[in-house]
Every structure is written in structure tokens, then in C-alpha cells.
Structure 1
């Protein structure tokens, strides 16, 4: 392994550890020392890659966001548009431990964004990327004739709003909102506009 590859592997390990620690105890309780210990690196090496907690947090959020779309991107060009869109929705709700960790990071970002302009800009940028992700899937379905023509921007905004609202209820373990209910609610709002089966794809 070259030095460059070693540095990249170390950086990835630090980011994974930062995501885990921040999700576990919250950003306000995180120290660079705790992240370094969790990653199994020295504090000096951690500071070599990230000189402040704020930069580490921003990179950790971006890293977490990038990992969320990996699975759905794999077959995005070959699978039916409805299946691709359903896969994106699965990734945007806290359906497993990894996604619940992502959601905890988002909740930390929401809180920080109320007081910190840098965090607010990061949050808006990540939401822009989510809009593009959802909107791209809808546009592909329209282009292939699988979806009816619709207002892509408005529908993407609706998807994000529903995912945020229902995702919070799922994170709270609200007995009124289970995963099946959340998915059915979102898909039920999309189906009429897209002209597709209102039943959420289980494939």
C-alpha cells in the first residue's frame, strides 16, 4: 500500500469513527481525543487530517451523505424507474442501524444549523443534493415513459418534506408511524402525480 493509499484509508477510518461517535454522544460532547481513540489513531494524526472539530463534523456529514446513495446508484440505469425511486426512499428513512446513525447525524446538523452559518450552508447544500437525487430519478422515469409528466421540483420538495417528517416520527419510535406506514404514505402521495401503482414496490 502506498503512502497516499494509507493516508486515504486513515482518513476514511477517521470519518467513519467520527460519524459513530457523533451519532452516539452528540457533537457538543465530542472531543478530538474521543474520535482519535475510537479510530485507533493518535490525536496528532487526527489533527493532521482535520484541524478543527467543525471541519471534522462537516466532512463526516458529507461522508455519511455520500455513503447513503451507494447501493441505489448501482442499478440506477437498468432497474425500472419506480424501483429506483423506491430504493432512494428506503435510503432516506431510518430503516436499519446504519441509516438510523445517518439520521442522528442529520439531527445534529439541524440543531447546529440554527446557530452556525457554516452548518446552515452545509445543510442547504446537502438538501440541494437530495433534491437532485430524487428529481433525477423522477426525470428518468418521465423520459422513459414510466412516469407521467409532472412538476419535478414540487414533487421532489414534497418527498423530502415527507421523509423528514415521517423519519422523525420513526426515530422517536412513535407507535402511530411504522416503517410500512411511512413508506405507504410517501408513495401514496407520489403515485397519483406519477401515474403509477400506489402500492410501494417491495423489490
Structure 2
């Protein structure tokens, strides 16, 4: 392994550890020492890669977002547009332990964004990327004739709003909203605009 590869591997390990620690105890309780211990690196090495908690938090959020997007980027396997969109929706709801951790990070970001301009800009930027991600899937479906022509921006905004609202209910373990209910609610809301059936696709 080259020096550059070792540095990249260390950085990835630190970011993974930061995501786990922040999700576990909250950003306000996180110290660089705790992250370093969790990552199995020295505090000096951690500071070499990230000189402040704020920069580490921003990188951890971006890392978490990128990992989720990579795992759900499945448009190249020839799946129908509805299935591709459903996979994206699945990744945007807290449906398993890893996605619940992502949601805890988002909740930390929402809180910080109310008081910190940098965090607010990061949140808006990540939402822009989510909007483009959903919109891209809808546009592909329109292009292949699987979806009807529609206001792509409006559909994307609706998807994000519903995922946020229902995702919070899922994180709270609200007995009125389970995962199947959340998925079907979102799908029924967007299906008329896309000209597709109201049932969430089998994945």
C-alpha cells in the first residue's frame, strides 16, 4: 500500500468513526479525542487530517451522504424507472441501522444549521444534491416513456418534504407510522404526477 493509499484509508476510518460517534452521543458531546480513540488513531493524526471539530463534522456529513448515494445508485442495471426511484426512496428513509445512523447525523445538522451559517450552507447544499438525485431519476423515467411529463422540480420537492416528515416519525418510533406506511404514502402522493400505479414497487 502506498503512502497516499494509507492516508486515504486512515481518512476513511476517521470519517466512519466520526459518523458513528456523532450519531451515538451528538455533536455537542463529541471531542476530537473521542473520535480518535474510536478510529484507533492518535489525536495528532486526527488533527493532521481535520484541524477542527467543525471541519470534521462537515466532512462526516458529506461522507455519510456520499455513501448512501453510492449504495443506492442503481440506474445502470436496466431496472425500470419506478424501481430505480423506489430504491432511492428506500435509501432516504431510516429503514435499517445504517440509515438510522445517517438520519441521526441529519438531525444533528438541522440543529446546528439553526445557529451556524456554515452548517446551514452545508445543509442547503446537501438538499440541492438530494433534489438533483431524485429529479434525475424522474427525468430518466420521462425520457424512457415510463413516466408521464410532469413538473420534475415539484415532484422532487414533494418527495424530499415527505421523506423528511415521515422519516422523523419513523425515528421517533411513532406507532402511527411504520416503514410500509411511509413508503406507500410517498408513492401514492407522487404516482398521479408520474402516471404510474399507486403501489410501491417490489424491490
Q: In terms of mean alpha carbon deviation, does 69-78 or 166-175 score higher?
A: 69-78
Question: For residues 87-129 of structure 1, what are the alpha-carbon distances to aligned partners after superposition, in whole Å with 9 as ceiling and x for unaligned?
Answer: 0000000000000000000000000000000000000000000
Whether 1:143 aligns to 2:143 is: yes
Give 4+ residue runs of structure 1 displaced > 3 Å after superposition: 74-77
Alpha-carbon distance in 2 for matches of 1:11, 1:88: 27
- Partner residue, 1:127: 127
Shift of residue 78 of structure 1? 1.7
- Partner residue, 2:177: 177
Shift of residue 63 of structure 1? 0.1
Alpha-carbon distance in 2 for matches of 1:147, 1:42: 52
Contact 2:94–2:103 (8 Å) recurs in 1: yes
1:96-135 pair list within 5 angstroms: 96-135=96-135
Stretches of structure 2 lacking an aligned partner (at least 5 in a row): none
- Partner residue, 2:70: 70
TM-score with structure 2 setting the length = 0.99
Shift of residue 140 of structure 1? 0.3
Alpha-carbon distance in 2 for matches of 1:77, 1:120: 35
Stretches of structure 1 lacking an aligned partner (at least 5 in a row): none
Shift of residue 77 of structure 1? 5.5
Name the SS of the counterpart of 1:155 in structure 2: helix
Shift of residue 74 of structure 1? 3.5
- Partner residue, 2:17: 17
Shift of residue 80 of structure 1? 0.7
Name the SS of the counterpart of 2:72 in structure 1: helix
Contact 1:188–1:198 (8 Å) recurs in 2: yes
Contact 2:74–2:84 (8 Å) recurs in 1: no
Alpha-carbon distance in 2 for matches of 1:169, 1:202: 23
Contact 2:131–2:156 (8 Å) recurs in 1: yes
- Partner residue, 1:58: 58
Name the SS of the counterpart of 1:69 in structure 2: helix
Contact 1:32–1:43 (8 Å) recurs in 2: yes
TM-score with structure 1 setting the length = 0.99
- Partner residue, 1:93: 93
